[in-house]
């Protein structure tokens, strides 16, 4: 009977100790759950803030990209105009050199910078007959 009471007391003691340990574990579990929920809430807020910031940066990037495309298209248009003007200039230079070549000598002596003040005939200036290419070279016309 005494042995049985000892066993019952030990079992009751063990139940009390396990109950205390169980309560302690439950408290720790509740604290861990609270901490985890707090972590999830804070992490969610940080993630939302980063997503918001990312969306804002993306919107700015899209705006800058659109602005860049406008600049590129404007630059392309200006380059096309510039190339067209350069082609026209080349044609006009060719016409100018032709018109200066066929102009009367008196007009050329007054208006052509390379012949101003000269009285000799340009055909015999160098002692040789000037060909078309020689004449264009003596007129100092940029080609």
Query: Mean of the per-residue pLDDT values for the chain?
Result: 84
- CA nearest to 132, candidates 94, 87, 89: 94
Rounded CA separation 48/35 (Å): 20
- pLDDT tens column, 85-99: 999 999 999 998 888
Residue 97 · residue 139 · CB < 8 Å: yes
Q: What is the pLDDT of residues 1-14, one digit of tens each?
A: 678 888 899 999 99
The structure's pTM equals 0.49
* 143: pLDDT strictly greater than 50: no
Domain ranges of the chain: 2-102, 103-143
Percent above pLDDT 90 for the chain: 58
């Amino acid at each position: 009977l005494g042995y049985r009471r000892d066993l019952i007391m030990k079992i009751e003691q063990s139940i009390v100790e396990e109950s205390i340990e169980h309560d302690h574990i439950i408290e720790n579990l509740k604290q861990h759950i609270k901490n985890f929920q707090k972590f999830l809430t804070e992490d969610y807020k940080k993630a939302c803030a980063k997503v918001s910031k990312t969306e804002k940066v993306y919107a700015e990037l899209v705006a800058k990209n659109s602005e860049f495309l406008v600049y590129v298209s404007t630059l392309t248009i200006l380059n096309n105009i510039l190339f067209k003007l350069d082609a026209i200039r080349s044609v006009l230079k060719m016409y100018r050199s032709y018109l200066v070549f066929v102009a009367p000598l008196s007009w050329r002596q007054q208006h052509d910078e390379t012949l101003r003040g000269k009285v000799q005939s340009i055909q015999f200036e160098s002692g040789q007959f000037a060909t078309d290419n020689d004449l264009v070279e003596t007129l100092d016309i940029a080609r």
